[in-house]
Amino acid sequence: MKHLRTMVTTATGTLLALGLSTGCSSNLGDFTLLASKNIDLSHFDSQKAENSAPVTGSDTKWFYTFSSPANLKEATDHAEEAGQANSLTNARIVDSYIYVIKDEIDVTGNPVPRSSDAK
């Protein structure tokens, strides 16, 4: 009987650990132009943006800290800062999570030069 209880406890613990560590990733959208703040489009240079190397910004929240879910604006801000840009073209937003443990939003896109750089 003791052996059976140990097997059941081990099997339950293993299934619980597997269930809590599963996760998935989903594409939330692809955008031609993405910005987290107001921008001036009068000097928008799509050629410079298309030729720039893609940058990625992320926002990650760990649920064991009882925090809110990952924030799209924060991830976009981080990507814009990484590219020293005020917006992104060809942006893709991906949300990944590990069930009950972690939520992460990644924003990837080509940085658009700031207005003062585009003149």
Which of 57, 62, 76, 77 has its CA nearest to residue 23? 62
Burial of 93 by CB count in 10 Å (0-12 exposed, 13-18 middle, 19+ buried)? buried
**pLDDT at res. 43:** 76
User: Is residue 103 in some structural domain?
Assistant: yes
User: Is residue 5 in some structural domain?
Assistant: no
pTM (2 decimals)?
0.73
User: Is residue 82 in some structural domain?
Assistant: yes
Per residue in 16-65, pLDDT (tens digit) is 555 555 678 889 999 999 999 888 888 777 777 788 899 999 999 887 66
User: Is residue 13 in some structural domain?
Assistant: no
Range of the domain at 103: 24-118
Asked whether the beta carbons of 88 and 34 are under 8 A apart, the reply is: yes
Total tally of structural domains belonging to the chain: 1
Per residue in 88-105, pLDDT (tens digit) is 999 999 999 877 678 899
